[in-house]
Amino acid sequence: MLLLLVLRPDYASKSTQERVIVSYLPAIEIEPKIKADASVIWLHGLGASGYDFEPIVPELNLPENAAIRFILPHAPSIPVTVNGGYIMPAWYDILEMDIDRKIDESQLLQSATEVHKLIQRELDRGIASERIIIIGFSQGGAVAYHAALTYPEKLGGLMGLSTYFATAQTITPNPVNKHIPIQVHHGSLDPVVHEALGRKGYDDLLALGYEAEYFTYPMEHQVCLEEIEAISAWLQRLL
């Protein structure tokens, strides 16, 4: 975890200072060629890291004047039950690989809180909340859904890639993001997160009153060129 020491006045005693330690997920940050005025926080999948999506950023072929900072955080390494307790990068533990993916929801909520802290850091850097977009792939997408839909300030967009809506039945969305732009992308040949789960997540979004778009590609659990082009077009339209 990246640690940041923040000093602020102790209003009970003007002669002392309270030390507040704020910890952030370690992350790769890709800065634009000009001063950033927008941010994309992009969460990776199970067993991966932020480095997985680093080479995709230049493939987006964004224009020279796109002032978008990309933040690619790394999940902590924890034991994953369905993988025999093997320790690997994960946003939360997966307990059973059934159709609904039995998970450790408390860990997912903690990961969503960590994403909220990254959003707050972007606000502190001068990025307006409406110009912050959350993207998540696979397990990271489940966290992205929860983090974006519960955030207390209006965000710029939410995108789920080859993922599922793990907390659809328990989430208490914040109404401030009721009209957040949402896109869902999934591979029709995905053997890891079957498209039925992606489609169910999309249907759950609609049932909660969101206006989401759904796209599918003839691919497995991956990202394809056509999808990258669609992501680029969406980012340029929103930011």
Active site residues: 138, 190, 221
| Of 56, 149, 134, 142, residue with least CA distance to 102 | 142
Q: Give the Å distances, CA to CA, from 162 to 30, 34, 184, 205, 212.
A: 23, 31, 8, 15, 15
Per-residue HEC secondary structure of 156-200 comes to CEEEEECCCCCCCCCCCCCHHHCCCCEEEEEECCCCCCCHHHHHH
Using the CB atoms, write b or e for 158-177: b if 16+ within 10 Å: bbbbbbbbbbbeebebbeeb
Which strand (E) or helix (H) includes residue 94? strand 94-96
- Give bridge partners of residue 157 from the DSSP assignment: 133
- Give bridge partners of residue 211 from the DSSP assignment: none
Helix locations, the chain, DSSP H = 56-59, 105-124, 139-150, 195-207, 225-238
Cα separation, 204 vs 181, in Å, equals: 15
- The backbone torsions φ and ψ at residue 176, rounded to the nearest 5 degrees and listed phi first, read -60, -25
Cα separation, 167 vs 171, in Å, equals: 6
**DSSP secondary-structure letter at 84?**
T
